[in-house]
Amino acid sequence: MVAKIIDGKAVAQHVRAQCREETAALKARGVTPGLAVIIVGDNPASKVYVANKVKACTEVGLHSTVYAFAADTPDAEVEAKILALNADPLVHGILVQLPLPKHFDAKRVLAAISVDKDVDGFHLYNVGALAQGETVFPPCTPYGVSKMLEYENIPIEGQNVVVVGASNIVGKPMAMMLMQRDATVCICHAKTRDLAQFTILADILVVAAGVPNLILPQMVRTGAVVIDVGINRLPDGRLVGDVDFEGVRQKASYISPVPGGVGPMTITMLVHNTIQAARRQAELAEG
Ligand SMILES: NC(=O)C1=CN([C@@H]2O[C@H](COP(=O)(O)OP(=O)(O)OC[C@H]3O[C@@H](n4cnc5c(N)ncnc54)[C@H](OP(=O)(O)O)[C@@H]3O)[C@@H](O)[C@H]2O)C=CC1
Ligand SMILES: Nc1nc(=O)c2c([nH]1)NC[C@@H]1CN(c3ccc(C(=O)N[C@@H](CCC(=O)O)C(=O)O)cc3)C=[N+]21
Ligand SMILES: [Mg+2]
């Protein structure tokens, strides 16, 4: 079996076309969806991602502003900016690019973002809502993966899903989201003994560990759907995921590539969430 490659860029374009229509409709009502991005320090990867986010906003017709702070900025200054953005009616979504420099209490910073503007879905309220199946802003990366599966008509109910990686921004919300859709979910992490005994059971394998070549063909069931969330820059400059792409594609039924897989979807779902935020805030304001 040779896998079908899930073209994340194409799925992203499809979702962005819908986003453009919704944005045009909001603009006709006098509302331009606006995103504020806060970036602290000068992590080169973060700069690339933020630039991609701004580009996607512009492409769809959203307004976006980047607030860049030096790495040694006091927490209080960043929190004050968040509070000002919470109160700004032209800003509908607020995103704090992670990771923050070490001296920051990231949890505290994220908690300062208004729940109604938390387009990343990282606020504790939104995390709790996701656990109860009522989320307002699904976190962008797991949301993007769900959209990719939906676009390819891949069933989720009753499927064995194995998520490799248990972070708050990818692994945990991914597992929660697919469990809500009635998959049987297993979460693996760095202390999992014999990863392969779990991955081999997966009908859908989602990998978000940040370890190149973590997933080899012998760890994958023939016909499995393999979604590679990992982003790794190799010493030679190449960008790769966590999956041995050439090996695993000989065995899987579907596989998502890196680049051009989950990455473009993450950015697109951020745009989508910002439009939803603008719509909701406009409806509240209009009463
Ligand atoms: N494409 C996209 O849009 C996005 C891509 N990413 C990428 O996805 C990857 C994961 O990101 P993120 O979740 O933020 O990363 P974190 O570093 O926060 O979490 C990594 C997770 O993977 C687990 N892990 C690490 N090594 C192994 C291993 N050898 N076997 C099994 N599990 C392992 C860790 O386990 P433990 O908990 O035990 O430490 C942890 O749960 C990164 O490459 C990142 O760049 C992230 C966000 C968006
Ligand atoms: N508050 C916050 N929200 C996030 O959503 C968030 C974050 N912090 N911190 C870091 C991770 C990582 N992330 C990516 C987004 C896009 C690509 C992306 O566009 N990838 C392209 C390639 C990009 C490149 O060329 O480097 C692709 O896979 O095709 C990758 C990774 C969002 N994250
Ligand atoms: Mg259920």
Give me the pLDDT at residue 1, please: 86
pLDDT band, very low/low/confident/very high, at 284 (cuts 50, 70, 90): confident
165 is in an annotated binding site: yes
- 30-113 in CATH: which number? 3.40.50.10860
| pLDDT for residue 287 is more than 80 | no
Per-residue pLDDT tens for 124-153?
Answer: 999 999 999 888 899 999 999 999 999 999
Domain locations in the chain as residue ranges: 30-113, 140-263
Superfamily of domain 140-263: NAD(P)-binding Rossmann-like Domain (3.40.50.720)
Per-residue pLDDT tens over the stretch 203-214: 999 999 999 999
Tens digits of per-residue pLDDT, 61-98?
Answer: 999 999 999 999 999 999 999 999 999 999 999 999 99
Query: pLDDT for 212-266, tens place per residue?
Result: 999 999 999 999 999 999 999 999 999 999 999 999 999 999 999 999 999 999 9
CA atoms of 157 and 206, how far apart (whole Å): 16
Question: What is the predicted pLDDT for the residue at 286?
Answer: 81
pLDDT of residue 134: 85
Instruction: Pinpoint the alpha helices (H) of the chain.
Output: 8-28, 44-60, 75-86, 106-112, 124-131, 140-151, 171-180, 195-199, 245-248, 262-286
This prediction has a pTM of 0.97
170 within ligand 1 shell (Cβ under 6 A): yes
Candidate of 37, 49, 95 to mutate for ligand 2, largest count of ligand atoms within 8 Å of Cβ: 49
Distance (Å) from CA 231 to ligand 1 centroid: 9
Ligand nearest the Cα atom of residue 169: 1
